[in-house]
Amino acid sequence: MERQFTEEIESLKLGDGETFRGEGILAVTKALLQSGVSYVGGYQGAPVSHLLDVMVQAKDYMDELGVHVEACTSEASAAAMLGASVSYPVRGAVTWKSIVGTNVASDALSYLASAGVIGGALIVLGEDYGEGGVVAQERSHAYALKSMMWLLDPRPNLATIAGMVERGFELSEASNTPVMMELRIRACHVQGSFTAKDNRAAAVSTRHLLDKPADFLYERLAHPPAIFPQEKKKSAVRLPAARKFVAEHGLNELFAGDESSVGIIVQGGLYNNLVRALQVLELANSFSDSRGGCRIPILALNVVYPLVPEEITAFCAGKSAVLVIEEGQPEFIEQDIATTLRRAAEQPELRSLSQTKLHGKDLLPMAGDYSAEVLVRGISRFLEQHAAHVDTSPGARWIDAIEASRARAAQLLGALPGRPPTFCVGCPERPVFSAMKLVAEDVGRPHVSVDVGCHAFATFEPFSQGNTLLGYGMSLASSAGVGPMSARRPVAVMGDGGFWHNGLLSGVASNLLNHGDAVLVIMKNGYASATGTQELLSSPPEDARAAAGGASAAYADRTIEKTLKGLGVKWLRTVNNYRVADMVNALRRAYTTPEPGLKVIVAEGECQLERQRRLRPQVAARLKAGKRVVRTRFGVDEDVCTGDHSCIRLSGCPSLTVKSSSDPLKADPVAHVNNGCVGCGLCGEVAHAAVLCPSFFRAEIVQNPNVLDRFLDRLRARIVGWLQPA
């Protein structure tokens, strides 16, 4: 990974009393070190990638503290790492993107939760839900419930987040249960500060080794017959211990308000949105985080599972109505509270609770992001029913203004075309989809199963390819049922990240075992690019990258090819992505060859984002030293361009755009290459492979020219001068 986290690493070293400043996920990283963690693992994914990325880069400092850091190959291997805390009194943390990562990790998590832990085990989940989310919209809460692991959902401010990391370990140890902490996108990226503490070196670590393995204790194995008492222990021992800890340490927060006949119970992670909504309604001010300033009493649940029944009943006692603000479906917390109130109301001294009306999903949407606007609408309805004297007109005016702005924008702008995301400029994956488009025109469109990763951008215009998307590394497996009933061979596309994560076993091994007949295209760009260009087993080694200089360093590694051959793949081609004609030929052969079995094309080209990061400092250093630097750019000769834009439809490069023609006889805009071009050559290659037109030219921009460059320049200028009329 070429991105440097120098500043972030320095902030991890802050000591007692110093002020830590940064974003939420970095606060978690710092708090892990303050908690005396012995090991950290995970699989990167937004919005929690930085936790592991920073720690991996801070290797020297981690070694100093004795913290073992592991960039795991999947969430399953990360979850299994927590096994260290089953037998040893060591604290460990793992991280990944949820819900997808939790799905992958769930087998190990079930066993971990059954066995229980003696050392604190914390799972930091990037809850990728709502606006900005990129995975199937589900909640991690379901996993907490079914495995009986505790779930933290801290208020999005850095002091609370860091504090909950430390408390999370203590809770885990007090109840012998792994603890999950969900952080939504906004919580991971919220900026703020907190007062740091010294980092704690763990008693057992890479610097202080265990002198012997743990005693053999059958009850620590999640295996029959131990699993039966373990299941009973969860509800009989661990749950009460967790509730006691949560209550005694005040992990949930109560914010008083003068409208005490009503109240709001909110997931901690939604607290900031709630306060914003209350501010719009003029029912809160900017001191609502800790110093009061909110008129409606709020119970903020920094621990959303387990709830503490006594806290719920105490908050609801004497209120005519309570609103539960819980994002996503189903309404786990609301149901939990309803059960608690119903049971409590059976007790004579708490009978009045039967009068407290419970609202939640009846007034708020069942699914989707609870933005401030959604909350203003829901809270207004709640107050109109149960506190009619509270003036909700400021909220109504605010919503009217938003709707008026939307209507005005629609009136002025009309229906705007969608602007889907796309590959980076010069991305090596784009040419493969251009080639697939060209081949489909010849031999017909196959069923295409796509995968998680940058190549999923090909599902958008102008490629619009992909019939299914069923998870990371699952594309080949997802076409297993389609192939046998299709006249044409199905095509699966996956990245090298997906290949190592799951594709090798779930896809390739399964296909070989079942003698499947399909085409697999593996985008070998050298990194897990979509998650932030982390390194893979097949990333080219550092020295190979340095030696490759300006060339694509991904070529330096053949681990994927060797693995495939070792497994028994017979039909295997490695093709340079940017040579579109070669890619077209390879695809056509794979689609049409009578040879049975799996056909694999390894599409090779280094991630352009990573390549540019690698080259930029090298180029800057050469320029500074006065050395010759050549940049390649492509352009379109507008005299030749007919303006049919077939090149744009085939390449989709954001740098390939349109401009008005200076020729008055050409009414249509002509193609134009803007300054963003990185000179990948795709547009020229596509024009050639598709036999489109000769408009494209390649130019070399020479900086710090040498004597020969200057001589050639003068010569060319003179010849052009002779050829051009005066």
Quote the least distance from Cβ 679 to ligand SF4, whole Å.
5
What CA–CA distance (Å, rounded) separates 696 from 700?
A: 14
Q: Which of 519, 653, 689, 690 binds ligand SF4 (CB under 6 A)?
A: 653
Q: Which of 58, 190, 202, 427 binds ligand SF4 (CB under 6 A)?
A: 427
Q: Which of 112, 677, 689, 690 binds ligand SF4 (CB under 6 A)?
A: 677
Quote the least distance from Cβ 578 to ligand SF4, whole Å.
9
**Rounded to 5°, angle at Cα 586 from 580 and 591:** 125
Q: Which of 43, 332, 370, 634 binds ligand SF4 (CB under 6 A)?
A: 634
Q: Which of 349, 376, 372, 345 is nearest to 358 (CA)?
A: 345
The helix/strand count (H/E) of the chain reads as 28, 26
Among the residue ranges 136-144, 278-286, 303-311, 672-680, the one whose residues contact ligand SF4 (CB under 6 A) = 672-680
Q: Which of 324, 601, 656, 689 binds ligand SF4 (CB under 6 A)?
A: 656
- 3-state secondary structure at position 320: coil
Q: What length is written for the chain? A: 726
Residue 112's φ and ψ, nearest 5 degrees, are -60, -45
Show the site string, 523-552: x = touches ligand SF4 by CB under 6 A, - = not: --x---xx----------------------
Quote the least distance from Cβ 90 to ligand SF4, whole Å.
36
Task: Show the tokens assigned to 519.
Answer: 């085409």
Beta-strand ranges (E) seen in 590-688 are 599-604, 629-636, 656-659, 670-673
Kindly tell me which of 239 and 702 has the beta carbon lying closer to ligand SF4: 702
Quote the least distance from Cβ 528 to ligand SF4, whole Å.
10
Q: Which of 169, 255, 398, 423 binds ligand SF4 (CB under 6 A)?
A: 423
User: Residue 95 in contact with residue 78, Cβ under 8 Å?
Assistant: yes
Quote the least distance from Cβ 429 to ligand SF4, whole Å.
5
Q: Which of 682, 687, 689, 690 binds ligand SF4 (CB under 6 A)?
A: 682
Read off the amino acid at residue 388. Answer: A
- Residue 429 within binding range of ligand SF4, rule CB under 6 A: yes
Write the CA distances from 386 to 262, 311, 380, 390, integer angstroms.
7, 22, 10, 9
Read off the amino acid at residue 468. Answer: T
Q: How many binding residues for ligand SF4 (CB under 6 A)?
A: 26
Kindly tell me which of 217 and 537 has the beta carbon lying closer to ligand SF4: 537
HSE at residue 360, side-chain half, CA atoms within 13 A, is 21
Kindly tell me which of 304 and 653 has the beta carbon lying closer to ligand SF4: 653
Task: Show the tokens assigned to 509.
Answer: 């091994």
What CA–CA distance (Å, rounded) separates 628 from 642?
A: 36
What CA–CA distance (Å, rounded) separates 536 from 544?
A: 15
What CA–CA distance (Å, rounded) separates 69 from 201?
A: 14
Give the DSSP per-residue string, 470-535. -STT-HHHHTTTTGGG-SS--EEEEEHHHIIIIIIIIIIIHHHHTT---EEEEEE-SEEGGGT-EE
Among the residue ranges 38-46, 103-111, 652-660, 701-709, the one whose residues contact ligand SF4 (CB under 6 A) = 652-660
What CA–CA distance (Å, rounded) separates 336 from 463?
A: 47
Q: Which of 275, 307, 458, 680 binds ligand SF4 (CB under 6 A)?
A: 680
- Name every residue whose Cβ is closer than 8 Å to that of residue 587 and which is 6 or more positions away in sequence: 435, 436, 439, 519, 521, 601
Q: Which of 158, 304, 432, 454 binds ligand SF4 (CB under 6 A)?
A: 454
Kindly tell me which of 52 and 603 has the beta carbon lying closer to ligand SF4: 603
Show the site string, 305-344: x = touches ligand SF4 by CB under 6 A, - = not: ----------------------------------------
- 3-state secondary structure at position 445: coil
Show the site string, 506-525: x = touches ligand SF4 by CB under 6 A, - = not: -------------------x
Among the residue ranges 47-55, 136-144, 420-428, 480-488, the one whose residues contact ligand SF4 (CB under 6 A) = 420-428
Q: Which of 187, 113, 154, 360 is nearest to 253 (CA)?
A: 154
Kindly tell me which of 267 and 695 has the beta carbon lying closer to ligand SF4: 695
Kindly tell me which of 28 and 607 has the beta carbon lying closer to ligand SF4: 607
Quote the least distance from Cβ 604 to ligand SF4, whole Å.
12
- 677: left (phi > 0), else alpha (psi -120 to 50), else beta? beta
Q: Which of 41, 154, 490, 681 binds ligand SF4 (CB under 6 A)?
A: 681
Kindly tell me which of 255 and 423 has the beta carbon lying closer to ligand SF4: 423
Q: Which of 679, 687, 690, 695 binds ligand SF4 (CB under 6 A)?
A: 679
Q: Which of 71, 358, 528, 607 binds ligand SF4 (CB under 6 A)?
A: 607
Largest pairwise CA distance in the chain: 106
What CA–CA distance (Å, rounded) separates 65 from 208?
A: 10
What CA–CA distance (Å, rounded) separates 82 from 38?
A: 11
Q: Which residue has the tokens 């740091």?
A: 196
Q: Which of 44, 172, 651, 695 binds ligand SF4 (CB under 6 A)?
A: 651
Q: Which of 383, 609, 670, 687 binds ligand SF4 (CB under 6 A)?
A: 609
Residue 598's φ and ψ, nearest 5 degrees, are -75, 135
Among the residue ranges 66-74, 508-516, 535-543, 678-686, the one whose residues contact ligand SF4 (CB under 6 A) = 678-686
Quote the least distance from Cβ 350 to ligand SF4, whole Å.
57
β-partners of residue 604 are 524, 576
Among the residue ranges 46-54, 283-291, 299-307, 681-689, the one whose residues contact ligand SF4 (CB under 6 A) = 681-689
Quote the least distance from Cβ 699 to ligand SF4, whole Å.
10
Which residues of this chain interact with ligand SF4, rule CB under 6 A? Answer: 423-427, 429, 454, 525, 529-530, 607-609, 634, 651, 653, 655-656, 673, 677-683
